[in-house]
Amino acid sequence: MNQELIEKARQFYVQTVEQELNLNFEKNMYFRFRQLESICNVLKNDFDIEKINFLETGTSQNFADACFGVFFGFLVRETNGKFYTVDIDGDRIEKSKKIFEKYLPDLNAKFYTEDSVNLCKNTPMTFNLVHLDSWDFDLKNPFPSALHGWKEFETLQNKIEDGGIVFVDDNFMGGSWIQWNWYNEIGEVVGYEKIDVDYPIIGKGAHVYDYPKYDKDWELIGDHYVRGENIKIIVKKNCKR
């Protein structure tokens, strides 16, 4: 993908987050900054589709929780693509609408209030970029979000275009411990707890992480799979390779 466009999207996104939260994005939201870098690197090196059709599950509605949909929305707008977002919570959808009306008013966007798995299963649409982030991750009980993330991915597989990329948020590699931070409404850390990661991987994308080992149409991409950080699982569909 065009590196200049990616850089413009990155700058727009960082400036928007810093404006909303009145903080330094790299300093105060470091793990989200690292995630943004991994997203940009993958798009530069592994994504060749010119017109983006994007889906996010778990609508972007709270800048303290990164709101990566704003970054992807900029790319969608600049490539004359389509933006779809779904959340089961109607209040979150309304908050999301206000954010995009404010910062990307000319974005071709559609908002859906329903269960994300149902939308993924029943939609006739196809996508080439997807961000899965719909079930709140609990480090003390990571299995429900992992199962939900897998159900989303499983129902979407045949609706991802060749060369398309799927991102799954909130994952931790095993063999390390995590400082599980608690944040206030503006993204400041107000407390934390130390939790050991005893499984090979936990998170919303735990099952997706292993899937390319068994289905050669999919490839795990990126070089950011390190211990001790909140990372995104990133897989690419390569049916024609």
Q: What sign for the dihedral angle of Cα 216, 222, 225, 229?
A: negative
pLDDT for the residue 9: 98
Residue owning tokens 């999301």: 96
Identify the pLDDT of residue 240. Answer: 64
Where do the domains of the chain lie?
A: 3-172+202-237
Confidence at residue 218, expressed as pLDDT on a 0 to 100 scale: 97
What is the CATH topology of the domain spanning 3-172+202-237?
A: Rossmann fold (3.40.50)
In DSSP terms, which residues pair with 236 in a beta bridge? 165, 219
State residue 187's pLDDT score.
66
Gap between the Cα atoms of 38 and 16, Å rounded? 19
Beta carbons of 237 and 218 less than 8 angstroms apart: yes
Q: Residue 205: what pLDDT?
A: 97
Distance CA 192, CA 217 (A): 40
What was the pLDDT predicted at 180? 78
Q: What is the pLDDT of residue 133?
A: 96
CA distances (Å), origin 86, targets 113, 123, 132, 135? 6, 12, 10, 12
Q: Which alpha helices (DSSP H) does 22-81 contain, by range? A: 25-28, 30-46, 69-78
187 token code pair: 């993204």
Where does residue 33 rank: exposed (0-12), middle (13-18), buried (19+ CB within 10 A)? Answer: middle
Mean pLDDT by 10 residues, the chain (241 residues): 96 98 94 96 96 98 95 98 98 98 98 97 97 89 94 97 97 87 77 89 96 96 92 91 53
d(CA 241, CA 218): 10
- 23-28 contacts at long range (C-beta below 8 A, 24 or more positions apart): 23/186, 23/187, 28/187, 28/188
User: Whole-model pTM?
Assistant: 0.94
